[in-house]
Structure 1
Amino acid sequence: MIPRYVRPEMARLLSDQYRYEMWTRVEVLASEAQVRLGHVPAGALEDIRRAPVPDAARVAEFEEEREHEILAFLAAFCEPIPPESARWVHWGMTSYDLVDTALGHILATATDVLLDAARRLRRVLADRAVEHWHTVCIGRTHGVHAEPTTFGHKLAGFAFAVDRGVERLRRARAEVAVGTISGSVGTYALIDPLVEEHVCAALGLGVEQAPSQVVGRDRHATLVQSIATLGACVEQIALEVRLLQRTEVGEVEEPRSAAYQGSSAMPHKRNPTRSERLCGLARLLRGHVVSVLEDVALWHERDLSHSPVERTALPDCLAVAHYQVTAAAELIAGLEVFGDRMRSAIDATRGLVYSSAVLADLQERGVERELAYRSVQAAADRTRADGIDFRSALVSSRVGAGAGAGNGAMRPERFLVHHDVILERLESLRERED
């Protein structure tokens, strides 16, 4: 994890120290179950419970000697426990009983933090969409003026995209929230399945149905793919903000502090750095998808090739996504919207953006479609070439003065007659509690 792109609440969950806290909890819970089964003395359990969580630095010292993090952790954990009780720690378990069960809890908890941030982004987008529902702007296809829409409609589309991202994350959370305490190669040879049931229930986890010593890595791949897809949705939002901030467009501006400085050389610059950063973070998230998919296929019951990938990709994805989604909510909440500039962009083409309405009106009046299309297209070409307004060009066209010039076709409201249908859907989204 890069500290620059990690929020404090996520940094704690993804730290080595928190991982050791969870390993400690798994060991204590497993010992509880073993006592209930009569395999471990009750007195040993009390000593195990009193042992503190090992310090990450102490675990690192032991790892220098053993070259095995789990054995290093167990040595540090058992250090203050009386030997007659310490011998019962980790009884019947294998390393990844500890690692994967704790990992399931950590991933589920960290995903909950990301889900909270995504729901806030969804809410901010929906609220601002309602605020600007009647702020008319130009819709662009291929980067070219198309037809009028509203800025609220743009934001509504983003809100629903984030909502789909929330649903994907919820499903992925359920997939990773599993553990396994099944022993070497997953056969429960030296450990009763009741231990697994007790530990996983206490941690709010499901149980891997047919363990191979480890939890299936397809679960992690699903989570990372869901995170990367959400990141791409945020990138779409940020890219639109970037494009609308261009000097020749100037329809929005991202929030800035009074001390903002955009360039070391050009004092006038007001660069879209916040939205650019969000786009860059989406690339990082996508980059981890392939490597995590590579982890799904392990040799036989397990190998260790997945470990370095997971140590990097899983915390990075969760930390970066949480940072990105949180920053996106702050960006949209503070975004300045220039409605007058948006309206002037509609008028900049001298009426060309109304061509589809004119075409539809001509067809309704009985003009054959090819003739109507070619006539309207020719008038549009003349508007661009001669600089006259589209209405005047239509009057002198083959279809004449009746070509929609005076019947309401040339106004933005013509394109928003069914706009409230989308608003109703948006209001339903705002009322959702999940």
Structure 2
Amino acid sequence: MIERYTLPHMRSVWELGHKYEIWLEVELLACEALEQGGKIPRGVTARIRRNARIDPERIAAIEKVVKHDVVAFLESLAEPVGVDARYLHAGLTSSDIVDTSLAVQMAEAADIILGDMDMLLGVLKQRAHEHRETIMVGRSHGVHGEPVSFGFKLAIWYEEVRRHRDRLRAVRQDIAVGKLSGAMGTFAHLGPEVEEFVCARLGLKPDPISSQIVQRDRHAAYLSALALLAASIEKFATEVRHLQRTEVLEAEEYFSPGQKGSSAMPHKRNPIAAENLCGLARIVRANSLAALEDVALWHERDISHSSVERVILPDSTILVDFMLVRLTEILKTLLVYPARMKQNLELTGGLIYSQRLLVALLEQGAQRTAAYEAVQRNAMEAWKGGAKFQELVAKDPLISRYLNASQIEACFDPKYYLRHLSRIYARVFADASGASGGKGRPAGEGGRQGRRAGRGEVKGRRKGG
């Protein structure tokens, strides 16, 4: 785990002791299924659950000898459990335990991230409505285009995050599968009913068909969804960074009392939080490529994916969790400067209204080519820094032939560009019930607590965790 960026809820998902708790629960549930089926004596599962102890230090010591983490785990359990340990892992293979447990952890991590996204959506919705009428210039290619509103920009981000939430919900469902189908996936030594029992108790679905492992396209889709989300976070952060540039300064990150922007230049107020997000997004994207490389394994399975997943799954979920929380705080506290937006809107002397003028000419019967050339000719003159665009077009013979002074004046009203915002907002926020903004982390935690309810007797007896 990346200590600097690991938040408490996500840390608990990927702690080694928690992984071992789930491993033990999978083993216990398999025993319970066998016990209910009359395959092992009654009372075995209760005795194992009562006597089992998880000792990460002992597991690590055994693994140094056996060179196999699941074998080390089982041998460490055998010491306190005694003769009943012979019923553990009967008919199972290591990946039955590892992949099923990993699905639980990935689902828990997804629940936390989905909660984070709800918090972000709540802030985006609030600030989009707050700045719905805050007019600013829209830019394409970095060059002034036409007026928009800052709220409109945030509404676009809201809709984008909502799409990411839908994607993550889908991959969370896709990854929440377990397998207890044995070494080659054929249920050679345990029937499908054991897998179905264990998965139902863990809140998973049985994988319809598996080899020795759950196929890694599921994991690649999960990491790809996180990479897409990270890409959008970088997009939003990049916009904040641009808006905070000194020559733009339409918005900026909150600068807290006592904060320092530079060790050398006392005046600096830098967008360091947004820059941090842009950097972290690169790691999450790179990890998604590693997940794609894990799809192609030899035959029914090799182990080349295992070492990769030990890094990319904790790191990517930890980073996305951190990034969403940080982005939410950036946008919640973002300083917005409407006066500077208005000032920048007027930098080009009205050039941003050129298309409105062109459309008005066409509506009055002008030919498109002639009208375009007339508007462009005056625009290019205004670019030189002489007269203002509105003054030039008012004197143009072709333009004045079709438009009178009041019609030309109407073309330079920025509010004209926001006249459909009500309908746009109705589309975007029509069903915003899932973005309450107050259920983020508890929602993720609650899902985990529900799954842990059946494992309560084991929790708290971990030694050395």
Task: Please indicate the TM-score interval, normalised by the length of the shorter structure.
Answer: over 0.9
Q: Which residue of 1 aligns with 2:310?
A: 311
| Deviation string, structure 1 residues 69-120 (Cα, Å, up to 9, x no partner) | 00111112222112x2111111111111110111111111110111110121
How far did residue 57 of structure 1 move?
A: 2.1
How is 1:129-278 mapped onto 2 (pairs within 5 angstroms)? 129-278=128-277
How far did residue 10 of structure 1 move?
A: 0.2
| Deviation string, structure 1 residues 186-216 (Cα, Å, up to 9, x no partner) | 1111112211111000001111111102101
Counterpart amino acid of residue 19 in structure 1: K
Distance 1:136 1:53 in 2: 63
- Greater relative contact order structure (CA < 8 Å, 6+ sep): 2
Are the aligned partners of 1:138 and 1:145 in contact in 2 as well (CA < 8 Å)? yes
SS state at 1:75 partner = helix
Distance 1:364 1:403 in 2: 10
Bigger shift: residues 206-215 or 382-391: 382-391
How far did residue 397 of structure 1 move?
A: 2.2
How far did residue 235 of structure 1 move?
A: 1.0
Distance 2:431 2:134 in 1: 20
Distance 2:258 2:403 in 1: 54
Are the aligned partners of 1:136 and 1:339 in contact in 2 as well (CA < 8 Å)? yes
Q: Which residue of 2 aligns with 1:41?
A: 41
How far did residue 403 of structure 1 move?
A: 4.7
SS state at 1:430 partner = coil
Counterpart amino acid of residue 81 in structure 1: V
Are the aligned partners of 1:285 and 1:320 in contact in 2 as well (CA < 8 Å)? yes
How far did residue 52 of structure 1 move?
A: 4.0
How far did residue 53 of structure 1 move?
A: 4.4
How far did residue 405 of structure 1 move?
A: 5.1
Distance 1:265 1:302 in 2: 55
CA 1:52–1:336 in 2, change beyond 3 Å: closer, same or farther?
farther
Q: Which residue of 1 aligns with 2:289?
A: 290
| Deviation string, structure 1 residues 305-350 (Cα, Å, up to 9, x no partner) | 1101111111111111111111111111111110111111111111
Counterpart amino acid of residue 416 in structure 2: R
SS state at 2:430 partner = helix
Q: Which residue of 2 aligns with 1:413?
A: 415
5+ residue gaps in structure 1? Answer: none
Q: Which residue of 2 aligns with 1:328?
A: 327
Distance 2:192 2:404 in 1: 77
Are the aligned partners of 2:119 and 2:435 in contact in 1 as well (CA < 8 Å)? no
Are the aligned partners of 2:53 and 2:77 in contact in 1 as well (CA < 8 Å)? yes
Counterpart amino acid of residue 426 in structure 2: E
Distance 1:254 1:121 in 2: 16
SS state at 2:145 partner = strand
Are the aligned partners of 1:127 and 1:430 in contact in 2 as well (CA < 8 Å)? no
CA 1:404–1:5 in 2, change beyond 3 Å: closer, same or farther?
farther
SS state at 2:80 partner = coil
Q: Which residue of 1 aligns with 2:427?
A: 425
Distance 1:387 1:344 in 2: 18
Distance 1:377 1:182 in 2: 71
Q: Which residue of 2 aligns with 1:58?
A: 58
Counterpart amino acid of residue 10 in structure 2: M
CA 1:201–1:321 in 2, change beyond 3 Å: closer, same or farther?
same
Q: Which residue of 1 aligns with 2:91?
A: 92
Q: Which residue of 1 aligns with 2:379?
A: 380
SS state at 2:265 partner = coil
Are the aligned partners of 2:249 and 2:340 in contact in 1 as well (CA < 8 Å)? yes
How is 1:360-371 mapped onto 2 (pairs within 5 angstroms)? 360-371=359-370
Bigger shift: residues 39-48 or 308-317: 39-48
Q: Which residue of 1 aligns with 2:453?
A: none
| Deviation string, structure 1 residues 258-308 (Cα, Å, up to 9, x no partner) | 121111111111111011111111111110111111111111111101101
CA 1:432–1:114 in 2, change beyond 3 Å: closer, same or farther?
closer
Q: Which residue of 2 aligns with 1:68?
A: 68
Are the aligned partners of 2:92 and 2:190 in contact in 1 as well (CA < 8 Å)? yes
SS state at 2:187 partner = coil
SS state at 2:136 partner = strand
**Number of residue pairs matched by the alignment:** 433
CA 1:155–1:429 in 2, change beyond 3 Å: closer, same or farther?
farther
Are the aligned partners of 2:118 and 2:434 in contact in 1 as well (CA < 8 Å)? no
How is 1:20-31 mapped onto 2 (pairs within 5 angstroms)? 20-31=20-31
Are the aligned partners of 1:51 and 1:78 in contact in 2 as well (CA < 8 Å)? no
Identical residues among aligned pairs (%)? 42
Counterpart amino acid of residue 389 in structure 1: K
Are the aligned partners of 1:378 and 1:397 in contact in 2 as well (CA < 8 Å)? no
Are the aligned partners of 2:250 and 2:337 in contact in 1 as well (CA < 8 Å)? yes
CA 1:376–1:67 in 2, change beyond 3 Å: closer, same or farther?
same
Are the aligned partners of 2:122 and 2:435 in contact in 1 as well (CA < 8 Å)? no
Counterpart amino acid of residue 409 in structure 1: C
| Deviation string, structure 1 residues 132-163 (Cα, Å, up to 9, x no partner) | 00000000000000000000000000000000
Distance 2:107 2:56 in 1: 22
Distance 2:405 2:132 in 1: 27
- For the aligned residues, what is the CA RMSD? 1.4
| Deviation string, structure 1 residues 10-51 (Cα, Å, up to 9, x no partner) | 011012111001001111111101111122222322221113
Distance 1:367 1:355 in 2: 15
SS state at 1:147 partner = strand
Are the aligned partners of 1:43 and 1:85 in contact in 2 as well (CA < 8 Å)? no
CA 1:404–1:246 in 2, change beyond 3 Å: closer, same or farther?
farther
